């Protein structure tokens, strides 16, 4: 597993070492941590955790890789979510099959504030099957969206060639939420899994900060369509097109985005707005914030 994770935050754009503490203003922070264990028979387990702390409440996103080989690939990967803010937890387990594909199992601890769970099947241009499960949950001013996308060959059944797991977290004041309190913040993590030579390879994108209004729009589009793609977030769509400015939810229309140099934890400054993206981000969300797990 790599020794750093590229992040795109309002006050930090660049490669953050692990472990690392990133402070986003007085009431919001992100902690990155990593562990590597080996059992008595030599099976390696690697865990990467991203801990969000917002107004003293926490949400943990964990990526666990089991039976990691010398080429840094795994036979099994687990995506864990423990969201104390909205009382939601789940685990997705992805394993390699005998036919060299991925099978996913979903395990939920039923949250009391689920707004919808939708399962949708669509088809790509070559006739491949795309199964999408979207789960929106919310509690007061805090909402989360959990997504899995399985890309399959036609008629493949439960076996997928590629699996994408995405998680968005929004805490908003001055929005259309049930209750308007707390800090304005929008964050996301995306894990992508594929298969190579009988093992699962993984990339992890994020943490990425978004304006609250952009994620609320994304949530609404996912609710209407039952499908997901990153560009459904206007903030990400603008960045992908090279338009890096997205107005903060708390700023006037004549605000100006000021590019920032690549930061380190020592030079990162505090966040004073609701999530304006600053800096050029290299113009592409999938190039500037991807963590590749490579051989040491």
pLDDT tens sequence for the chain (296 residues): 566 788 999 888 888 899 999 999 888 999 999 999 988 877 889 999 999 999 888 999 999 999 888 777 888 999 999 888 777 788 899 999 888 899 998 886 655 677 788 999 988 888 889 999 999 888 778 889 999 999 998 766 778 999 999 999 998 764 444 444 568 899 999 999 999 888 898 988 889 999 999 999 999 999 999 999 999 999 888 776 655 444 444 333 232 222 333 444 433 433 333 333 333 333 322 223 333 333 33
Cα–Cα distance for residue pair 186/30, rounded to 1 Å:
12
What distance in Å separates the CA atoms of residue 207 and residue 167, rounded to the nearest whole number?
Answer: 10
- Give dist(CA 40, CA 154) in Å, integer: 42
DSSP 111: -
CA 247 to chain centre: 22
Lookup: tokens for 160: 């997928």
Residue 110: the pLDDT is: 56
Residues 6+ apart with CB under 8 A from 249: 172, 174, 175, 184, 211, 212, 213, 273, 274, 275
pTM score above 0.85? no
Q: Is 187 exposed, middle or buried (0-12, 13-18, 19+ CB in 10 A)?
A: buried
> Where are the chain's structural domains?
4-247+276-292
pLDDT at residue 2 in the model: 60
Count of Cβ atoms closer than 10 Å to residue 272 Cβ: 12
Neighbours of 198 (CB within 10 A): 12
How far is residue 31's CA from residue 19's CA, in Å, rounded to a whole number? Answer: 7
d(CA 179, CA 254): 29
Per-residue tokens: 179: 């209750």
Identify the pLDDT of residue 29. 95
Tell me if residue 168 falls in helix, strand or coil.
strand
DSSP-derived secondary structure for 210-262: E-HHHHHHHHHHHHHHS---GGGSHHHHHHHTT------TTS-TT------PP
CA–CA gap between residue 14 and residue 6 (Å, rounded): 5
Give the CA count within 13 Å in the CB-facing half-sphere of 238.
15
Return the structure tokens found at 18.
């692990």
* Nearest alpha carbon to residue 285 among 244, 246, 247, 248: 244
């Amino acid at each position: 597993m790599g020794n750093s994770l590229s992040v795109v935050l309002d006050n930090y754009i660049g490669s953050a070492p692990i472990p690392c503490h990133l402070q986003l203003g007085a009431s919001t922070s992100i902690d990155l941590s990593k562990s590597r264990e080996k059992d008595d028979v030599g099976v390696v387990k690697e865990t990467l955790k991203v801990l969000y702390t917002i107004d003293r409440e926490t949400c943990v996103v964990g990526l666990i890789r089991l039976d990691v080989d010398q080429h840094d690939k795994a036979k099994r990967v687990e995506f864990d979510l423990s969201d104390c803010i909205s009382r939601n937890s789940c685990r997705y387990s992805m394993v390699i099959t005998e036919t060299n594909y991925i099978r996913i199992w979903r395990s939920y601890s039923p949250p009391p504030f689920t707004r919808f769970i939708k399962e949708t099947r669509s088809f790509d241009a070559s006739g491949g099957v795309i199964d999408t499960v979207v789960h929106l949950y919310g509690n007061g001013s805090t909402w989360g969206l959990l997504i899995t996308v399985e890309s399959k060959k036609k008629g493949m059944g439960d076996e997928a060639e590629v699996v994408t797991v995405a998680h968005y977290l929004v805490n908003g004041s001055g929005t259309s939420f049930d209750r308007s309190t707390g800090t304005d913040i929008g964050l996301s993590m995306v894990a992508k899994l594929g298969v190579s030579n009988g093992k699962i390879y993984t990339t992890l994108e994020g943490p990425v900060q978004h304006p609250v209004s952009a994620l609320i729009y994304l949530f609404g589009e996912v609710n209407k369509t039952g499908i997901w793609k990153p560009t459904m977030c206007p903030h990400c769509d603008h960045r992908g097109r090279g338009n890096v400015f997205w107005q903060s939810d708390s700023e006037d229309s004549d605000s100006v985005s000021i590019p920032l140099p690549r930061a380190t934890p020592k030079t990162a400054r505090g966040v004073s707005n609701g999530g304006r993206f600053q800096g050029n981000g290299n113009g592409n969300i999938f190039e500037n914030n991807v963590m590749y797990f490579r051989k040491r």
